[in-house]
Structure 1
Amino acid sequence: MLIIHEVMGRDSGFLTAETARKYREGLKSTKFVTGSSAFSGTRASRDIHAVWIPEIGMNIQAEGERLKKVMDENGCVNVFLSEGAGVHEIIAEMERDGKAPPRDAFGHVRLADINPGAYFSKRLADLIGAEKTLVQKSGYFARAAASNDFDRKLIRECAEKGVESAIAHVSGLMGQDEDMEGTPIRAIEFERVKGGKPFNKEADWFKEMLKEIGQA
């Protein structure tokens, strides 16, 4: 079984990596019964075996060889994939085949039409010998999930700061300002808000996570 957890967003490197870290933190505190990894569900079979983000180059052939060993040992492979990961490779392959990648009015490649999750699931399934494949898009689960304690605390603090800012006639986007010490929640100036910020792939915790899952 190949399972690809596709994290939505063109530049969702940080979100993909952080989601993977949170998942593995929960996994480490989970108890498993002993038995065959392919059927009983061990920590190794439930772990993440690859994290693919736009900030890291991807060699699908090399990853296929590595993950084939994981499949043989555990009976499954679990991949956390950023929707924007590998897009350059997909575009290059399309152009080599004489196909024009679909683009929106802003010139961005339409990810929904390219569908990286489906593309890589087919390529990887062949390389690792997967008999079944499942692609799950995180956005659907995120919108349907009940808020937890962290969510409710963050929402309340943003709402309160939003009311304070409105009364003070201060415009902005409520959120944690990471450019200020202590990352306070405040009305962040609109001109500072933009997308496309790359994730720091050199972060110690991220490199340690890749080392733990055996990804170069």
Structure 2
Amino acid sequence: MTTTVALLTSGGLAPGLSSTVASLVEHWVLHDPDTRLIGYRHGWAGVLRGESVWFGPEIRRHLHDLHEVGGTPLGSSRVRLTNDEDCLRRGLVPEGRTALEMAARQLAIDGVTVLHPIGGDDTAANAVRLAEHCRAIGQPLTVLGLPKTIDNDIEPITRSIGAASAADAGARFARNVMAEHSSSPRTIVVHEVMGRSCGWLTARTAMRHLDWVEQLARIPTLLEPEAWGIHALLVPELEVSIETVAAQVEPVWSTRGSVNLFVSEGAGAAMVLEERRRAGETIAVDPFGHPRLDQVRVGDWIARELGLLLAADRTLVVKSGYFARSGPAEPEDRVLINRCATVAVRAAIDGQSGIVGGDTAADDRLGVIALDRIRGGRRLDVTAAWVQDLLGRVHHVHPVS
């Protein structure tokens, strides 16, 4: 009997989604060319709508091209399978039916017995609920997820797909935009990096940027590497007041006339949210209840308040998020993707469900991690050696409290 395997990508973009789709299909074809492979369009929304694409011979011949592009060839969406009200409002389920019921029904119609959801902790949560529902109704389903998120905040995954590539891309972005410090005297440049509650991406991006800065030649009066550096690093794990930031960058400000900040989009978000709510503003939330950080605009708030404290002539907020998350996988991620796809296909053949990744509780060994162990919201370990080294390289840092 021919096995039908389905793939989907869900949630925000991350580098390597296209490569992950290609790798999974390639490994299944190597195992058995007769495997029927489909991809659901736009994540869980495609499952609920019954919209899929068949990975037939023509597509299989050109899969290698997917390794060179960013985004996802299948499309994505943010759908919570336990939020029936939202699914009904969006026309994803009919009145009186649950999303879990409709998702399981579509998998049965398509003959899917193996599902590869590629996404973050919210995608894993959907997979857990769907697997439980299918088990309860006696419907066979093996779920082998692959973890992707640029935040690298999935517990207990050592490194999620796309995180390293996003940091490298964000650092390349910073090389250009940090030049803005030279366009006008008394300028504050705020580089806002994606990261809701975890500062890993901001820290890793900052590390990569400083690696480049420290290679710059010094030309007296013309090129000072320090001017391209990072003078304050703000992450959710090291919350400080804006007055403290101003005091710490003031020596650089008074001598150089410009400062550069790397800021996680979630750093100080709670404070900014509360201020805007007191002002009567309403901040939209996504289907999972997360405030829309693009509406919170932490970087804008920091630039405005710091600009007032330092009497800046110009403040500039630049966001690397979409640039960083939308590119192809870098070599480090390409290796990780291939290893994860290999393990995922082997485990699926054995009927084992879970999420494939390095396990922090098992010396970071790559394997299949039980679905019920997957949690989001992991924080950056600010006591880690590489983070402490980074803080020492930043001109003015917020010490570990």
TM-score of the alignment, normalized to the shorter chain, above 0.5: yes
Asked if the contact 1:65/1:128 (under 8 Å) is kept, the reply is no
What secondary structure is seen at the aligned counterpart in 1 of 2:376? coil
Q: Does 160-169 or 78-87 show the bigger shift? A: 160-169
The yes-or-no answer on 1:164 pairing with 2:164 is no
In structure 2, distance between residues paired with 1:17 and 1:79: 12
In structure 2, distance between residues paired with 1:104 and 1:140: 18
In structure 2, distance between residues paired with 1:146 and 1:130: 37
Using the TM superposition, give the Cα deviation of residue 210 of structure 1 relative to its aligned residue in structure 2, in angstroms: 2.4
The yes-or-no answer on 1:18 pairing with 2:204 is yes
Using the TM superposition, give the Cα deviation of residue 3 of structure 1 relative to its aligned residue in structure 2, in angstroms: 2.0
Asked if the contact 1:45/1:75 (under 8 Å) is kept, the reply is no
The yes-or-no answer on 1:31 pairing with 2:216 is yes
Q: Which residue of 2 aligns with 1:9?
A: 195
Using the TM superposition, give the Cα deviation of residue 207 of structure 1 relative to its aligned residue in structure 2, in angstroms: 3.0
Q: Which amino acid aligns with 2:217?
A: F
What secondary structure is seen at the aligned counterpart in 2 of 1:147? coil
Asked if the contact 2:198/2:237 (under 8 Å) is kept, the reply is no
Q: Which residue of 2 aligns with 1:56?
A: 238
In structure 1, distance between residues paired with 2:235 and 2:283: 20
In structure 2, distance between residues paired with 1:3 and 1:192: 40
Ranges in structure 1 where 5+ consecutive residues have no aligned partner? none
Query: Taking structure 1 as reference, are residues 144 and 100 closer, same or farther at Cα in structure 2, changes over 3 Å only?
Result: closer
What secondary structure is seen at the aligned counterpart in 1 of 2:379? coil
Instruction: Give RMSD over aligned pairs.
Output: 2.4
The yes-or-no answer on 1:111 pairing with 2:293 is yes
In the superposition, the TM-score normalised over structure 1's length comes to 0.83
- How many pairs align? 211
Query: Taking structure 1 as reference, are residues 130 and 160 closer, same or farther at Cα in structure 2, changes over 3 Å only?
Result: farther
How many percent of aligned residue pairs carry the same amino acid? 34
- Paired residue for 2:324, among 142, 167, 173? 142
Is the radius of gyration larger for structure 1 or structure 2?
Answer: 2
Residue deviations 1:79-136, cap 9 Å, x none? 1111111012213433554556554555433322111122212112222333333323
Q: How does 1:168-179 map to 2 (within 5 A)?
A: 168-179=350-361
The structure with higher relative contact order (CA 8 Å, sep 6+) is 1
In structure 2, distance between residues paired with 1:209 and 1:80: 12
Ranges in structure 2 where 5+ consecutive residues have no aligned partner? 1-186
Asked if the contact 1:44/1:74 (under 8 Å) is kept, the reply is no
In structure 1, distance between residues paired with 2:318 and 2:361: 33
